[in-house]
């Protein structure tokens, strides 16, 4: 890679874009997944998310991931924002969506997934961040954006 005309050796991950879903239940709770992450050798709380596949739109990927990982279908899915979660290390652009009007369907996990679902109050999610029980910064980013939209 070249920076200011010089060749530099810098770690870099090329990755397809991803979609992440902040799913809010009819009672205003945040639907989270608890999934096994072998990279961390343990289970972590996070939002439903995944890689866009074969020319799939970010919105279609968000709907697919929500259903696969939580077993829920959203009546409404709204684009919130996009950004680069690993700026400087990866070209993956994360597209964030808000899902509401959730209806229970059947979870359709992929073979390499082990996922459990739980709904939390928004304040409880923030407390869990403070206590180190949630480490996925995508959750914090999406929830803060959502909360800011409620007061604008």
Q: In whole angstroms, how large is the CA radius of gyration of the chain? A: 16
Task: Write out the residue range of the structural domain in which residue 107 sits.
Answer: 2-151
Contact 109, 36 (CB under 8 A): no
How does pLDDT run across 83-118, given as a tens digit for each residue?
Answer: 887 777 767 788 999 999 999 988 877 777 788 999
Q: What total number of domains does the chain contain?
A: 1
How does pLDDT run across 20-43, given as a tens digit for each residue?
Answer: 999 999 999 999 999 988 888 999
Of 35, 63, 60, residue with least CA distance to 47:
35
Of 74, 76, 70, residue with least CA distance to 108:
70
pTM of the model: 0.87
Q: How far apart are CA 41 and CA 103, in angstroms?
A: 32
CATH number at residue 74: 3.90.79.10
Mean pLDDT across the chain, nearest whole number?
88
């Amino acid at each position: 890679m070249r920076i200011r005309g010089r060749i530099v050796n810098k770690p870099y991950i090329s990755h397809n874009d991803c979609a992440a879903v902040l799913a809010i239940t009819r009672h205003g709770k945040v639907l989270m997944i608890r999934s096994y992450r072998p990279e961390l050798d343990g289970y972590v709380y996070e939002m439903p998310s995944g890689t866009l596949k074969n020319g799939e739109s970010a919105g279609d990927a968000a709907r697919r991931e929500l259903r696969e990982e939580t077993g829920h279908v959203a009546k409404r899915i709204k684009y919130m924002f996009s950004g680069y979660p690993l700026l400087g290390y990866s070209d993956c652009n994360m597209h964030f969506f808000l899902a509401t009007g959730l209806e229970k369907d059947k979870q359709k996990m992929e073979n390499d997934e082990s996922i459990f679902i739980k709904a939390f109050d928004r304040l409880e999610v923030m407390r869990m961040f403070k206590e180190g029980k949630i480490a996925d910064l995508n959750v914090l980013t999406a929830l803060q954006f959502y909360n800011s939209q409620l007061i604008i």
